[in-house]
């Protein structure tokens, strides 16, 4: 046992070194003041810079829209697959890993081709603004982990019992979904939403190739050419903010579950 423990400590210490040093260095770098010494000027820059500020709002709008579309697609589908098509679960699991490995640059290349060569009212409306053009494709990028997160949430609740009870009490399928299932998996849903936020705040490839340069991550990279400290400060802030949100969801979600269910969920087995 002691040998096992020592091995664990070494691995965790190495991981802590590798993962913390860049973050600590970012914090130090972002707090450097131009004339020497330290200050928070790099962090307050976002309040004074109208370009950065409007880029942040654009990206937050895209993030919210993306999260809404993702959840509208994922929650009903994941519930439906668990209730009606358990045999399809493995297929969907594989399908949802696809966008992780479909290169965003290839997606962007295909979209850029449409943008350059096809006209018509549908495409004009699609490519009208960064919000309308980027949201549909960010949804694709966000689907894999959103599906996994929601599906894991559904695995932890007695889904069939809940839905059947709701329907026996006269609820329609939509009501059962919105008023019974959704509250039961709300922490998984919130987690999926915050990961979508992380994705939108970090995506530059599609936006850059399609020339929608008014999004937050692009603005962060651009400002880095003249003021690297601002870029480091803003990216560190967005990374930590997302992580704190996810951590909070993780704690709140489990506290609720522990109080409402006496028995910890045992691993399920097929009959």
Partner 1 sequence: MTSLLDTPTAAPDAPAARPERRWCAALGLLPFALYFLVFLGGPLYFVISGAFTDADGLPTVGNLVASLTSPQYLLAFRQSLVLSAVTAVIGAVFGTFLAQAVLTARPRSPLRRIVSTASGVLAYFGGVPLAFAFIAALGQTGLATAWLRSAGLDLYASGFRIDSLAGLALTYVYFQIPLMVILITPALEGLLPQWREAAENLGASAWSYWRLVALPVLAPAFAGATLVLFGNAFAAYATALALTSGSIPLVPTAIASALSGNVLVGQANVGLALGLDMVVVIAVVMVAYLWLQRRAARWSRR
Contacting partner 1 within 139-168 (CB under 8 A): 139-140, 143, 145, 148-149, 151-153, 155-156, 159-160
Sign for the pseudo-dihedral over CA of 149, 66, 137, 112: negative
What is the smallest separation between the CB atom of 170 and partner 1, expressed in angstroms?
Answer: 20
- E strand or H helix that includes residue 67: helix 50-84
What is the smallest separation between the CB atom of 11 and partner 1, expressed in angstroms?
Answer: 4
59, 66, 130, 187: which one binds partner 1 (CB under 8 A): 187
33, 40, 95, 125: which one binds partner 1 (CB under 8 A): 95
- Of 245, 223, 225, 244, nearest to 56 by C-alpha is 223
- For partner 1 (CB under 8 A), the number of binding residues is 113
178 binds partner 1 (CB under 8 A): no
Q: Which of residues 4-63 bind partner 1 (CB under 8 A)?
A: 4, 7-8, 11-12, 14-15, 18-19, 21-26, 28-30
What is the smallest separation between the CB atom of 260 and partner 1, expressed in angstroms?
Answer: 13
Distance CA(56)–CA(67), nearest Å, equals: 16
Binding mask 100-129 for partner 1 (x = CB under 8 A): xxxxxxxxxxxxxxx-x-------------
67, 82, 133, 134: which one binds partner 1 (CB under 8 A): 82
* 179 alpha-carbon distance from chain centroid: 24
No. of helices (H) and no. of strands (E), the chain: 15, 0
Do 137 and 107 contact (CB within 8 A), yes or no? yes
What is the smallest separation between the CB atom of 48 and partner 1, expressed in angstroms?
Answer: 20
What is the smallest separation between the CB atom of 75 and partner 1, expressed in angstroms?
Answer: 10
What is the smallest separation between the CB atom of 110 and partner 1, expressed in angstroms?
Answer: 3
Distance CA(187)–CA(250), nearest Å, equals: 7
Distance CA(92)–CA(78), nearest Å, equals: 9
Sign for the pseudo-dihedral over CA of 179, 185, 191, 196: negative
User: Which tokens go with 269?
Assistant: 């087995």
137 binds partner 1 (CB under 8 A): yes
Q: Which of residues 212-241 bind partner 1 (CB under 8 A)?
A: 217, 220-221, 224, 228, 231-232, 235-236, 238-239
Q: Which of residues 242-261 bind partner 1 (CB under 8 A)?
A: 242-243, 246-247, 249-251, 253-254, 257
Distance CA(42)–CA(36), nearest Å, equals: 13
DSSP letter assigned to residue 157: S
């Amino acid at each position: 046992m002691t040998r096992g423990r020592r091995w664990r400590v070494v691995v965790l210490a190495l991981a802590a070194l590798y993962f913390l040093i860049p973050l600590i260095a970012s914090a130090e770098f972002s707090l450097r003041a131009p004339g020497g010494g330290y200050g928070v000027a790099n962090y307050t820059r976002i309040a004074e810079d109208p370009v950065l500020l409007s880029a942040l709002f654009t990206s937050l709008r895209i993030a919210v829209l993306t999260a809404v579309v993702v959840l509208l697609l994922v929650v009903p589908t994941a519930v439906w697959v668990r209730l009606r098509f358990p045999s399809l679960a493995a297929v969907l699991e594989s399908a949802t890993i696809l966008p992780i490995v479909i290169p965003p640059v290839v997606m962007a290349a295909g979209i850029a081709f449409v943008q350059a060569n096809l006209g018509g009212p549908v495409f004009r409306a699609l490519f009208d603004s960064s919000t309308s053009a980027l949201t549909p494709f960010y949804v694709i990028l966000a689907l894999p982990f959103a599906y996994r997160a929601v599906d894991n949430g559904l695995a932890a609740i007695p889904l069939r019992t809940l839905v059947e009870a709701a329907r026996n009490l006269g609820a329609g399928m939509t009501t059962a979904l919105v008023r019974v299932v959704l509250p039961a998996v709300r922490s998984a849903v919130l987690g999926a939403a915050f990961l979508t936020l992380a994705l939108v705040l970090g995506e530059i490839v599609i936006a850059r190739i399609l020339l929608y340069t008014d999004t937050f991550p692009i603005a962060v990279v651009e400002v880095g050419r003249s003021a690297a400290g601002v870029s480091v400060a803003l990216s560190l802030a967005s990374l930590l903010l997302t992580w704190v949100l996810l951590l909070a969801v993780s704690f709140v979600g489990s506290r609720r579950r522990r109080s409402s269910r006496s028995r910890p969920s045992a691993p399920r087995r097929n009959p």
